[in-house]
Amino acid sequence: MAEARAFVDLHCHTSASFDSLAAPAAMARAAASRGLTHLAITDHGTIDGALAARDAAPDGLTILVGEEIRTTEGDLIAMFLERAIPNGLPPVEAIAAIRDQGGLVGIPHPFDRFRGSMGRGEGLTGLSALSGAVDWIEAWNARIVIGDGNVRAATLAASVGLPGVAVSDAHTTLEVGVASTVVTGDPSSAAGLQAALAAGVTLQTGRASFYTRLATPAAKLLKRAGVR
């Protein structure tokens, strides 16, 4: 019998992030309604939103507990965490802390000029070293709309022999699953996700509307004003 396919979004944010107002439970419901089987919640500097989403997830949806970590050289995605990793570490130390928990590591939006991306500075100088340090690269991030960041990211993934994935980077329920990665197998564990990515991926490369993305700066302003 052929293994089942899984539909995975490996980068999403909830109201636990400083730039989102989306409730964790609402993100989980949106993911399930759009046919996702696995949703990674990767809030900035915390796993609280991921834990809340996991508790509220409807049947058929697995929440992967992750975090987007700001290192001294750009952002990393950590997956399968039990404890949050602090921001501000050098990449080598952050990766070691993730591995100590048995977690996996991804590179988000490596060439996005408007965010804390590793490709903006010196973080990707030794590209060949990435193949042994991380598990995937975001070859398609649905929030990159200006420039050739996704093309460069896909080229990078291929050049270092890493899986390239597609993610929504959702900050609102409208964005969940607009881009995702289809794999064969069960990516519910670190070993399972590694095996599924290694077996081959299909990228679904959609985008949310420009007006939807305006919710992010609005969320930042509201949160600075004390709205949660």
CATH of the domain at 179: 3.20.20.140
Residue-level pLDDT at 126? 47
Q: What is the DSSP string of 152-180?
A: HHHHHHHHHT--EEEE--BSSTTTTTSEE
In the structure, what pLDDT confidence band is assigned to residue 145 with cuts at 50, 70 and 90? confident
Bridge partners, residue 141, by sequence? 167
Q: How far is the C-alpha of 118 from the C-alpha of 198, rounded, in Å?
A: 23
Identify which of 68, 91, 74 has the alpha carbon closest to the alpha carbon of residue 10: 68
- Region 138-163: mean pLDDT is 92
In the structure, what pLDDT confidence band is assigned to residue 221 with cuts at 50, 70 and 90? low
If one counts the domains in the chain, the total is 1
State the CB neighbour count (10 A cutoff) for residue 198. 12
Identify which of 191, 188, 196, 192 has the alpha carbon closest to the alpha carbon of residue 165: 196
Residue-level pLDDT at 223? 61
- Region 184-211: mean pLDDT is 93
**Full domain range(s) for residue 206:** 5-224
Strands 104-107 and 136-141, sheet pairing: parallel
Residue-level pLDDT at 146? 85
Residue-level pLDDT at 3? 78
The residue with greater pLDDT, 102 or 215, is: 102
Residue-level pLDDT at 44? 97
- Give yes or no for residue 204 having a pLDDT over 80: yes
Span 16-37, pLDDT tens digits: 999 899 999 999 999 999 999 9
Q: How far is the C-alpha of 179 from the C-alpha of 223, rounded, in Å?
A: 27
Q: How far is the C-alpha of 225 from the C-alpha of 184, rounded, in Å?
A: 44
- Give yes or no for residue 112 having a pLDDT over 70: yes
Counting residues of the chain whose pLDDT is more than 90, the rounded percentage is 72
Q: What share of the chain is helix, strand, coil (3-state, %, to 5)?
A: 30, 25, 45
